[in-house]
Every structure is written in structure tokens, then in C-alpha cells.
Structure 1
Amino acid sequence: MKQFYPIIKVLSPLLICGALGVEIWTLYALQTGSPSPPLPTGLFWFERFALTAHAVEGVVASLFAKSREQSPIPYGLYTFFVGTVGLLELLEQPASL
């Protein structure tokens, strides 16, 4: 599994930034009365699920970061963008007492 970490670390931030862009576009369209982005409904649900899952992983990483001698906010943001890989890397580190 670890052989895929470099690929995931490149693709995941790109996809999360794209998902954030779609959400911003959608919110802008709702505020201005413009047409919504012309994307399939299933894609909206998928990107919202991904954003939610990554947000939860980021919060969990922030909570565990201090015990692994990491800074909580930067590591939470890192985990938000790379997803489960960041959380797994954090949990592999030994906990400090």
C-alpha cells in the first residue's frame, strides 16, 4: 500500500481543490441566481462526501497531532488535503507520553 502514497499525495490535493472549486462555484451560482455548474448530480454527492470525509480525517489528525509531537493545525490541513494517507502516517509515529 505504501508504494501508492506518492501518487495519492499528488492526486488527492488536486481532486480536493477541484471539489472545493465546485462548491464555491455552486455557492456563487446560488447567491447570484446564475445557473449551477453543468455537472451530473452524482458527482456533486461524491465530491461532498469526499470533502466531508477529508474534513473528519483532518479533525482527527489535529486531535492526535499533539501526542505525536506535530503541530495540530498544519497537520490537520495536510491530512485534509491528502486524506487517509496523512492520518496513517501520523498514527505510525510513536505517541509521546
Structure 2
Amino acid sequence: MNILKTLAMIIKVISTIFISGAIAWELWNIYAVINNITIPSSLNFIFWIERFAITAHLIEAVIAAVYASGKGKAPLKYAVYTFFVGTVALMELFSKEENGIKKPV
């Protein structure tokens, strides 16, 4: 198997786990605020990293939704996929296949 395909698959799995964790982390934060639970200030840095990652992936998902239909893909489905996977999904969307091999545009 090609090393780039293997690396892309590893990134996809790790990104999906981290974004799912970031969503859970933010939901826990919302729960804590609603129920007046004090969150240690030492965790603020983690919240900022998590929010940056969620925002970046959301922007990538919007880009994917806009361009997916032009590439023959379902916009909503590809946007959700891109939200969880990230830049690798955008690279797949904007690559072109030549002889069965995906090449960057």
C-alpha cells in the first residue's frame, strides 16, 4: 500500500477521534455552565485549542459543501465528512485522478 494513502488513513482516523472529543469537551463545558459547575482555569488553554480546531474544520466543511456538487459529490454528505476529517478531505475533493492515481490540482 502506498505510504501516502496509509498516512492519509491514519490522519483521517486521528482527526475523527479528536474532533469527536472536541465536541464532547465543548458539550461538557456547556453542561458545566448551565449547572453552575466551576471549571478550573487551567483548562482554558485546552478550550481555546478545541474551539480553534472546531472552527477550522467548520470552515473546511463550508468550503467542501460549496465545491462538492461541482465535483459530483453530495454537498451535505461531503461537508460532514470534511468536518470530521479536515484538510485531507479537501485535498481529496480538489485532486484529479489520472490513471487511477489522485494528483493534486
Normalised to the residue count of structure 2, the TM-score between the two structures is: 0.82
Identity %: 41
Partner of 1:63: 66
Matches within 5 A, 1:1-97: 2-3=4-5, 4-36=7-39, 40-93=43-96
- Within 1, Cα distance between the matches of 2:88 and 2:64? 11
- Within 2, Cα distance between the matches of 1:31 and 1:11? 30
Q: Which has the larger radius of gyration?
A: 2
Structure with more strand by fraction: 2
Write out the 4+ residue segments of structure 1 that deviate beyond 4 Å after TM superposition.
none
- Within 1, Cα distance between the matches of 2:36 and 2:30? 10
Normalised to the residue count of structure 1, the TM-score between the two structures is: 0.88
Amino acid at match of 1:67: G
- Please provide the CA RMSD for this pair: 1.8
